[in-house]
Amino acid sequence: MSLDLNGKKIVLGLSGGVACYKAAELCRALVKQGASVQVVMTEAATHFIGAVTMQALSGHTVYTDQWDPRIANNMAHIDLTRGAAAVLIAPCSADFIRKLVHGASDDLLSTLCLARPRHVPLLVAPAMNVEMWENPATQRNVAQLRADGVAVLGPAAGEQACGETGLGRMLEPQDLLDELVASFQPKVLAGKRVLITAGPTFEPIDPVRGITNLSSGKMGYAVARAAREAGAEVLLVSGPTTLPTPHGVRRIDVQSARQMYEAVMGAVPGQHIFVGVAAVADWRVANPSDQKVKKQEGGAPPQLRFEQNPDILATVAATTSLSGWPYCVGFAAESENLLEFGAAKREKKGIPLLVGNIGHHTFGQDDNSIVLFDETGHTVLPRAPKLVLARQLVSEIAKRLEQRSLLT
């Protein structure tokens, strides 16, 4: 199994705040992704969660004190970050942000941050009351942290433990994990805007019935996540799915192919890349009923008439021929003759890159194998988790954009 943090040492620092309870879950999530987690807590953090809990979850000795006699050379502030892939402070209090800004070194965690090797990134997840967060002093400090190259993750807005509402909530553990994983991905799409369709569409027959397909949306959501990880601004137009929106991705929900078409065409201007992953219904019911169709005793079943839906990808590709943007990528789910049908579909849709897969084998699965078709032929990307394939696809797209800009 491919784990996103396999073999990486992560120093997880906790400063004082009620969000420490979420750090326990974060620690567990990091370990589950293969990380070796070294927890360091400030004295204030120990008032919110026990070091024993963090030690049991991380499986490593937890340090809270610069003078801890368990490290024989008294060099905890140096040794703990050596070999680390990143230092993540979660929760990071207003006071700890202040300390980082000023290069304080009056406890183990702040000293360790100051003494970490320059190539070890520092990420912080602020957690505090909304007024504390919005106070100009904090905002000044946060701006300085960013200017110093520290990644500031969140905070989120919402109801707070103190009873007030607003910005200041620590990001959820899963979001922090995703942000940390993303920080290790190459930023090959930095500054690019990417529009993606995902999931099935649903074509109504009447208010309670409709026609859909087996697409789960997993591949489209993986592409959205991978594009965001690569530094792009991502807009996801999604048919009905039960999947969570990848962190940092903006999502528009639609049901029918026509709604998807409207949402996409409204968003296309200004996009650098369009990836059509959705399994769009080719036909819609021409005569949907406004009321639920009732069964007639002994009567004939209802007759459905179909009309063809607009081809979203082909329409976007046609606009590209005018402005050169967006770079269009299609997906093709075939049940046979993938190599032949994939190459033909790329030409028919008028797009530079098409991703082929065997549809009924991939729908709903976590793994997939895909074939990339471009003007030079085809390349097989062997079976792997959809997120791994999505990252490879993003890197292939970035490579082609790079080549294109070199040619123009």
Residues designated catalytic: 162
- CB neighbours of residue 3 within 10 Å: 12
Q: Looking at 90, 123, 127, 278, which residue binds ligand CTP (CB under 6 A)?
A: 278
Question: Minimum CB separation from ligand CTP for residue 364, in Å?
Answer: 17
Site track 161-200 with ligand CTP (rule: CB under 6 A), x = hit = ------------------------------------x---
Counting contacts by CB under 6 A, is residue 125 touching ligand CTP? no
Q: What is the dihedral of CA 182, 185, 191, 195, to 10 degrees?
A: -70
DSSP class per residue in 111-124: HHHHTS-TTS-EEE
Alpha helices in 163-205 (DSSP H): 173-183
Counting contacts by CB under 6 A, is residue 280 touching ligand CTP? yes
Counting contacts by CB under 6 A, is residue 367 touching ligand CTP? no
Question: Minimum CB separation from ligand CTP for residue 197, in Å?
Answer: 6
Q: Looking at 274, 331, 363, 373, which residue binds ligand CTP (CB under 6 A)?
A: 331
List all residues 6 or more positions away from 216 whose beta carbon is below 8 Å from its beta carbon.
199, 241, 243, 363, 364
The token pair at 269 is: 């201007």
Q: Looking at 333, 370, 389, 398, which residue binds ligand CTP (CB under 6 A)?
A: 333
- Among 259, 256, 239, smallest CA distance to 199 is for 239
Stretch that binds ligand CTP, among 20-28, 82-90, 102-110, 327-335 (CB under 6 A): 327-335
Q: What 3-state DSSP class applies to 102?
A: coil
- Burial string for 278-308 (b: 16+ CB within 10 Å, else e) reads bbbbeebbeebeeeeeeeeeeeeeeeeeeee
290-309 binders of ligand CTP (CB under 6 A):
309
Question: Minimum CB separation from ligand CTP for residue 198, in Å?
Answer: 9
Q: Looking at 49, 57, 188, 313, which residue binds ligand CTP (CB under 6 A)?
A: 313
- The footprint of ligand CTP (CB under 6 A) covers 197, 257, 276, 278, 280, 282, 309, 311-313, 330-333
